[in-house]
Structure 1
Amino acid sequence: MIGFRRGRDWTGAVAVILLCLASARMTEAAVLPEATPESQGLSAVRLQRLHEYMRKATDAEGYPGGVSLVMRNGRIVDWQAYGYRDIARHDAMRKDTIFRIYSMTKTVTSVAVMMLVEEGKITLEDPVSRYLPGFSTPQVFAGGNADAPRLRPAARPITIHALLTHTAGYPASLKGDEEAVKLMERTDPHGASDLRGFAERMSRVPLAADPGTRFGYDGASTELLARVVEVASGESFEAFLRQRIFDPLRMPDTDFSVPVSQRMRVVDITTMDKNGKLTIADGASAAHPGEPLNAYTSGAGGLYSTAGDYARFAQMLLNGGTLDGQTLLGRKTVELMMQNHLTMLNPPVTQFSDAEGFGIGGYVVIDVAKRGQLGSLGQYGWTGAASTYYTIDPKEHLVAILMLQHLPRDDVPKDLPRISRNFYNLVYQALLR
Structure 2
Amino acid sequence: MPVAAPERQGYSAQRLQRLHAFMREATGADGYLGGVVLIARNGRVVDWSAYGYRDLARSEPLRRDDIFRIYSMSKTVTSVAVLMLLEEGRLTLDDPVSRYLPEFEAPQVLAGGAVARPAQRPITLRHLLTHTAGFPAGRPGDEAAGRAQTLADPHGARDLRGFVERLSRAPLAADPGTRFGYDGAATEVLARLVEVRSGQSFEAFLQQRLFAPLGMRDTGFNVPAAQRSRVVDITTMGADGKLRLDDGPSAREPGAPLNAYPSGAGGLYSTAGDYARFCQMLLNGGRLDGHTVLGRKTVELMLRNHLTMLDPPVNQYSDAEGFGLGGYVVLDPARRGQLGSVGQFGWSGAASTSYTIDPQERMLAILMLQHLPREDRADLPRLAKRYYALVYQGLTP
After TM superposition, give the deviation of residue 385 of structure 1 in Å.
0.3
The answer for the alignment partner of 1:157 in structure 2 is: 122
After TM superposition, give the deviation of residue 332 of structure 1 in Å.
0.3
How does 1:357-376 map onto structure 2 within 5 Å? 357-376=322-341
The answer for the alignment partner of 2:344 in structure 1 is: 379
**1:140 pairs with 2:83:** no
The answer for the alignment partner of 1:305 in structure 2 is: 270
Amino acid at match of 1:170: F
Say whether the 8 Å CA contact 1:127–1:160 is kept in structure 2.
yes
Unmatched tracts of structure 2, length 5 or more: none
- State the Cα deviation string for residues 136-171 of structure 1 (Å, max 9, x = none): 110000444xxxx30000000000000000000000
C-alpha distance in 2, partners of 1:130/1:88? 52
Q: 1:142 to 1:173 in 2, by over 3 A?
A: closer
Amino acid at match of 2:329: V
C-alpha distance in 1, partners of 2:305/2:225? 41
RMSD, matched Cα:
0.6
- State the Cα deviation string for residues 92-114 of structure 1 (Å, max 9, x = none): 00000000000000000000000
**1:90 pairs with 2:59:** yes
C-alpha distance in 2, partners of 1:167/1:211? 6
**1:285 pairs with 2:250:** yes
After TM superposition, give the deviation of residue 133 of structure 1 in Å.
2.3
Say whether the 8 Å CA contact 1:143–1:151 is kept in structure 2.
no
C-alpha distance in 2, partners of 1:262/1:158? 40
After TM superposition, give the deviation of residue 283 of structure 1 in Å.
1.4
The answer for the alignment partner of 1:389 in structure 2 is: 354
SS across alignment from 1:79: strand
**1:79 pairs with 2:48:** yes
C-alpha distance in 2, partners of 1:94/1:157? 47
Say whether the 8 Å CA contact 1:64–1:89 is kept in structure 2.
yes
The answer for the alignment partner of 1:5 in structure 2 is: none
Question: Which of 308, 323, 330 lines up with 1:343 in the alignment?
Answer: 308
C-alpha distance in 1, partners of 2:170/2:240? 37
Say whether the 8 Å CA contact 2:111–2:142 is kept in structure 1.
no
Unmatched tracts of structure 1, length 5 or more: 1-31
Amino acid at match of 1:422: R
The answer for the alignment partner of 2:92 in structure 1 is: 123
The answer for the alignment partner of 1:232 in structure 2 is: 197
After TM superposition, give the deviation of residue 393 of structure 1 in Å.
0.1
The answer for the alignment partner of 2:385 in structure 1 is: 421
C-alpha distance in 2, partners of 1:245/1:164? 18
Amino acid at match of 2:64: K
Amino acid at match of 1:404: L
Greater radius of gyration (CA)? 1
**1:207 pairs with 2:207:** no
- State the Cα deviation string for residues 345-365 of structure 1 (Å, max 9, x = none): 011111111110000010000
C-alpha distance in 2, partners of 1:291/1:151? 39
After TM superposition, give the deviation of residue 275 of structure 1 in Å.
2.9
Amino acid at match of 1:180: A
C-alpha distance in 1, partners of 2:31/2:170? 41
How does 1:33-112 map onto structure 2 within 5 Å? 33-112=2-81
SS across alignment from 1:150: coil
Say whether the 8 Å CA contact 1:337–1:361 is kept in structure 2.
yes
**1:355 pairs with 2:320:** yes
C-alpha distance in 2, partners of 1:269/1:314? 24
After TM superposition, give the deviation of residue 274 of structure 1 in Å.
2.5
Amino acid at match of 1:419: L
**1:399 pairs with 2:364:** yes
**1:251 pairs with 2:220:** no
After TM superposition, give the deviation of residue 176 of structure 1 in Å.
1.2
Bigger mean CA offset, 129-138 vs 232-241: 129-138
TM (norm. structure 2) is 0.99
Identity of aligned residues (%): 71
C-alpha distance in 2, partners of 1:172/1:276? 30
Say whether the 8 Å CA contact 2:111–2:145 is kept in structure 1.
no
Amino acid at match of 2:94: E
The answer for the alignment partner of 1:21 in structure 2 is: none
C-alpha distance in 1, partners of 2:144/2:102? 25
C-alpha distance in 2, partners of 1:247/1:272? 37
Q: Which runs of 4+ in 1 moved over 4 A?
A: none
Amino acid at match of 2:153: D
The answer for the alignment partner of 1:28 in structure 2 is: none
Length, aligned pairs only: 397
- State the Cα deviation string for residues 161-194 of structure 1 (Å, max 9, x = none): 0000000000000011112111111111001000
C-alpha distance in 2, partners of 1:137/1:123? 20
- State the Cα deviation string for residues 36-77 of structure 1 (Å, max 9, x = none): 000000110000000000000000000000000000000000
The answer for the alignment partner of 1:180 in structure 2 is: 145
SS across alignment from 1:134: helix
